[in-house]
Each structure stands twice: as structure tokens, then as C-alpha cells.
Structure 1
Amino acid sequence: MSRELATDPTALRSAVNDELASTAGAWAGGDASVEGFLRRIVADLDRLPSLCVHHAEFRNYGSGYASYVDVFITKRDGSMCRSMNGWTNVEGLPLALCRLAPLAALFKPSTRSSGPDGAGSYGLPELLQVADIDLPGSEEECRQIGQVLDRHGIALLGSQVLSLPLEAGLRVETVLGDPPYSVFDAWFHWMD
């Protein structure tokens, strides 16, 4: 059901207007219910045997509005973490959990850097970085993440669906993409 929702014209019109596009499960209870549900998913991801949540951004990056929760998942054993000269670099898989509907997108491996006095850097979600299932070199990680999402009824969308164009006339307020807008922009957008 969630995969069909991802391309449903009515749902997409709701999404570009930052309105909940589903009435299933937590979405029936409104924004607070959705936030609680997404926090439970992040906690479940953090309990995976070989993976952990390095960071989850629920605060819209401190400003503006994000239609998703930005989650960064890495290996639990610390093998993807390197420290040098006061900076820590962590390699992992970014995951975006949509706030508007039970949808998610997994992205190609990237690095989060953090340094002295809270300095840091990381990339924001973008369509070109969407990973499809069985990402080479990360097959087991993708499988584990997919199992958690499936258990919670969240559809993990790939680039084939997310790269589809939005219907003419739909505009997305986002700094993550430019026109012509895609299904990705409707579900995963941020405006500072």
C-alpha cells in the first residue's frame, strides 16, 4: 500500500503542501503521533546487532522545516569511525524517514565529520544519492535496515520511484532540489 501511496496524485499534492498524506497507523493521530512513531523506529534501528544509529535529526536541522527525519546509521563495532587532529569521521548509510507518510529513502554511503566546538559537516539528502536495495558492499546492512522498516510498515523507495516527475504545476518549497521536481522532492524536502 505504501509504495502506491508514493506516486498517488492526491498524496503528492498533500506532501508538497507539508500535509500528512496518509491516515494509516501513526498518521491517523497527527504530527505528534508520527514523531513518536518515528522515534520508535530510530530506537529499533539502534538495537540492530551489527548497526547503530550514530545520529538522528528530529529538529529540522535547527531551523526551517524538514519533511523527514535524517538518520545516520553506521557499524556498531566502531570500524567505520576514524579520529585525527580533534576531528572524527564516521562512515555510514544515511536514511530519511518521511514525516508525511510511511515512506523512507536510503542513500549511498557517506561520511559525517565532527570536530572541536561542535563544528562538523555532512551532506543533505539528494535524489542522486538514493541507494537501491542491495547496495554493493552494504548488502547485509541494507537487509537489516529493510527488515526494521518492513516490521513498522514503512516502504523503502528506490530511485526508480523517487525520480518520477511530479505532475505539472506542483511546486515544492525546498533547498534540496530544483525544478523540474520529482517524487523525491515531494516526500523529502527541506526549507530553511
Structure 2
Amino acid sequence: MEGYLRQVVADLNRVPGLVVEHAEFGHYGSGYASFVDVFLTRRDGSARRVDPDGYTTVGGLSVALCRLAPIACILSPRERSHHPDGRGRLSLPYLDTVIEVPIPGWEEGGDQISQVLSRHGITLVGPRLLRRPALPHLKIDTNLGDGPHYSIFDVWFHWMD
């Protein structure tokens, strides 16, 4: 699965309008993530700035590629920051950030992402499906959910430190 998802990420990195800024295959440094978090930004650099405090801040979209099933979801536009000394700021994917395409301001990029995923047999799922409740009494080890009432999102996209 990891090799397959690396191929998908490489293909995402080849779309004309976007570039992969970061792909988290390492489970955020600990624990287990049932997905690979891929952060994409505008290839032309227009969503990147260097702040006076030395941080480079990059606006973009995240795609969560599920390791458990051939599905993915796109998360609302957000920013990632990193500093030359290794510090950084990022946010984990949460159900409330899952969005549908087209994405205002990112229409072309969203279409390109959809096309790549489709070529790889990955279905893009949106908030309408992911908000549905999971089976009653299901317990999921995740820091992303807010059990005891889990959603379909929690079933497919979970992370435990």
C-alpha cells in the first residue's frame, strides 16, 4: 500500500498547477495514521511567503489518502509553516475541514487532484458521506474523533499517538 500511495503522491506532484509541499508518510512521527496527509500548494509560488519571524508560511490544500481503502478526501484550504531551525506549524485533518470540489479559489487545483485520484482508482469522498454515523457501539482509537459517537470519517481516517 505504501508504494502505491507514493506513486499517487508522485503523480499529484506532476499536475500543472500544484506541487506537493509535504507528504506525511511517517504517521506524524509516532503512533499510527490510517491515511497519508498530502499538502499541496500553488506551483507558481503565489501561496508562499516568508514572515518577519523567519517562518515560511505556505497556503494550500491537504488530501488525506486512506491506507485502508481506495478513498481520499480533500480538506479546506489552510496554511503550514516551517522555520529554518526545524520548528513548524501544521494541523491534523478533522471531519469539519473536509470539503467538496469545486473549492472556491482552488477550482483548477481541485479538478487536477480529482483527475489524478480517479486515474489511480481512488474515490474522492466528501463531508456528506463522512459525517454519517459509524456503527453504534464502535470504538475507534483516534485522537481526531470526538467519540463515543463516531462517524464514517473516524472509521477511515484515524490517528492515535
Structure (1/2) with the larger helix percentage: 1
CA RMSD, 1 decimal: 0.7
Structure (1/2) with the larger strand percentage: 2
Equivalence for 2:47: 80
Equivalence for 2:154: 185
Amino acid corresponding to residue 82 of structure 1 in structure 2: R
Per the TM alignment, residue 138 of structure 1 is displaced from its structure 2 partner at its CA by 1.3
Amino acid corresponding to residue 38 of structure 2 in structure 1: V
Per the TM alignment, residue 135 of structure 1 is displaced from its structure 2 partner at its CA by 1.5
Residue 91 (1) aligns with residue 51 (2) = no
| Aligned partner (choices 144, 159, 162) of residue 112 of structure 2 | 144
Amino acid corresponding to residue 131 of structure 1 in structure 2: I
TM-score, normalised to structure 1, is 0.81
Equivalence for 1:52: 19
Residue 39 (1) aligns with residue 6 (2) = yes
Gaps of 5+ in 2: none
Equivalence for 1:67: 34
Per the TM alignment, residue 132 of structure 1 is displaced from its structure 2 partner at its CA by 0.7
Displaced runs of 4+ in structure 1, greater than 4 A? none
How many aligned positions are there?
Answer: 159
Residue 100 (1) aligns with residue 68 (2) = yes
Amino acid corresponding to residue 128 of structure 1 in structure 2: D
TM-score, normalised to structure 2, is 0.97
Query: Once the two structures are superposed, what CA deviation does each residue of 1:46-99 show, in whole Å capped at 9, x if it has no partner?
Result: 001111100000000110000000100001111100002311000000110000
Per the TM alignment, residue 116 of structure 1 is displaced from its structure 2 partner at its CA by 3.2
